[in-house]
Amino acid sequence: MVRMKVAGEMSYEAFAAENPASGAAPAPKQIRPAPDRRTKETKIWAVGGGKGGIGKSFIISSVAQCLARKGHRIVLLDADLGGANLHTFFGVDRPRTTLTEFFERQIPLSSLVCETGVPNLGLLIGALDTLAADHIRYSQKMKLFRHIRTLPADYVLIDIGAGTHFHTVDSFLLADTLIAAVVPELISVENLYYFLKSVFYRKLLRAMSENGWKTIIFETWKNRRNLGIRNVKELTDYLRTQSGEISGVIDEALSDFLFHIVVNKVRRRQEIKVGLGVKSICMKYFGLDARYAGYIEHDELVSRSINKRQPYLQTHTGSRCSGQIEVVAENLLQQKAFG
């Protein structure tokens, strides 16, 4: 936990290598971008969590405002392609430009960024009128991901939406800083675990596929009952025993893999510790590195602000909830643990 490291990043080359159908030539296996190649480029943060209604959009839009206030240039991207609603948080009415223009009319991403009324903070709205969001082609998605890094911003913050569909998971894996949101309720924790495991499995699958071992991981997971594999940790443990090379690939995939847990809608003092519990389970049961970035307490005024279409942080600057959001933003920025 004390390791400081650059969070995971998935290069376009890696995407292309996994799916040659995307039109790009498969990149040679051994060429991987140096980890610090992007330090001066746009950093990507994404928030996910599996369950809907746990405040992912609220968290990411509030954190975005905190970062923008500090003078960072932020673009907030609503990648919830079928259910975009981030614009509502800022009271942006019927946005004229959305990702639809990018997908259908090839308009560059940077010219689709709308103003939010908050200095330094731009908003890219998901495709509002794409009814069949699931049918966005893989190549379209890859193009979007490729273009995100070229946006004129210090940070691009992505709201990926609910669920564990591979579109959602892929958008999440795009980020350098992975934020996992949860509320202190059993269902939410359960969904968070499903989500984190899917994310991890997809990450592992990619790393293995890059080396041409896609079938190994498929076959292992298919035969998991016979092999006595009950969880992702046992899966990686088993794969590690297969060969030193595989072990190396897994180590590399895991080495820059870190979740930042944010607990939202805390109503009681004891619920603050849910974040610590979830972090511990991630580390001890799943073998995933995790950090507890902080909590945000429940505030009735949040939903009232949203209904009034006013950004909560602007209308309730001094509230406890705002203070906690600032702590979360600062911890994420410093890659620090809460407490």
Partner 1 sequence: MTPPAGKPAEIIEALQVLELPAEATLTQIRQSYRFLKDLYGGESIATLPVSGEISTKDRQQIIEKIDAAYEALIRFFEDERGRDLSVQRSAPDEIARYLADVEEITGAVLKTVRKMQGFVPEEVAAETRIPVLNLERIEQEDFAAFPPPVYTRGFVSGYADFLGLEADRASSDFMRRFNAWKENRGGGNPPHRFRLAFWKKKK
Residue 187 CB, shortest distance to partner 1, in Å, is 9
Q: How far is the CB of 232 from partner 1 (least distance, A)?
A: 9
What phi and psi, each to the nearest 5 degrees, are found at residue 107?
-80, 135
Residues 6+ apart with CB under 8 A from 32: 11, 13, 14
Which pairs from 92-98 meet CB under 8 Å and 24+ separation?
Answer: 92/116, 92/117, 92/123, 92/125, 95/123, 95/125, 95/128, 97/125, 98/125, 98/126, 98/127, 98/128, 98/129
Residue closer to partner 1, measured from CB, 66 or 182: 182
Nearer to partner 1, 284 or 304 (CB): 284
Nearest to partner 1 of 144, 274 (CB atom): 274
**Considering beta carbons, is residue 131 or 186 the nearer one to partner 1?**
186
Q: Which residues of 252-276 are buried (b: 16+ CB within 10 A; e: fewer)?
A: ebbeebbbbbbbbbbeeeebbebbb
**Closest CB 290 distance from partner 1, rounded Å:** 9
Cβ at position 323, least distance to partner 1 in Å:
18
Cβ atoms within 10 Å of 104's Cβ, excluding its own: 12
Structure-token pair, residue 118? 């908050």
Query: Which is closer to partner 1, CB of 12 or CB of 221?
Result: 221
Return the CA Rg of the chain: 20
Which residues, in sequence order, are bridge partners of residue 180? 48, 261
Cβ neighbours of residue 202 under 8 Å, at least 6 residues apart? 166, 169, 170, 173
Q: What is the dihedral of CA 303, 307, 308, 313, to 10 degrees?
A: 30
CA gap 23, 26 in Å, rounded: 9
Q: Which is nearer to partner 1, 72 or 336 (CB)?
A: 336
What is the smallest separation between the CB atom of 235 and partner 1, expressed in angstroms? 11
CB 87, min distance to partner 1, A: 33
Residues ≥6 apart with Cβ < 8 Å to 151:
42, 75, 109, 110, 113, 124
Closest approach, Cβ 105 to partner 1, in A, equals: 44
Q: What token pair was written down for 256? A: 């820059």
CA-nearest of 147, 153, 149, 152 to 73 is 153
Q: Among 14, 26, 23, which residue's Cα sits nearest to residue 139?
A: 23
Nearer to partner 1, 5 or 222 (CB): 5
> Which residues would be at the binding site for partner 1 (CB under 8 A)?
1-4, 184-186, 189-190, 193, 230-231, 269-270, 273-274, 276-281, 283-285, 337
For residues 152 and 339, which CB has a smaller minimum distance to partner 1 in the complex?
A: 339
Nearer to partner 1, 120 or 188 (CB): 188
Q: Which residue has the tokens 């805390």?
A: 266
CB 120, min distance to partner 1, A: 32
To partner 1, the closest distance from the beta carbon of 224 in angstroms equals: 12
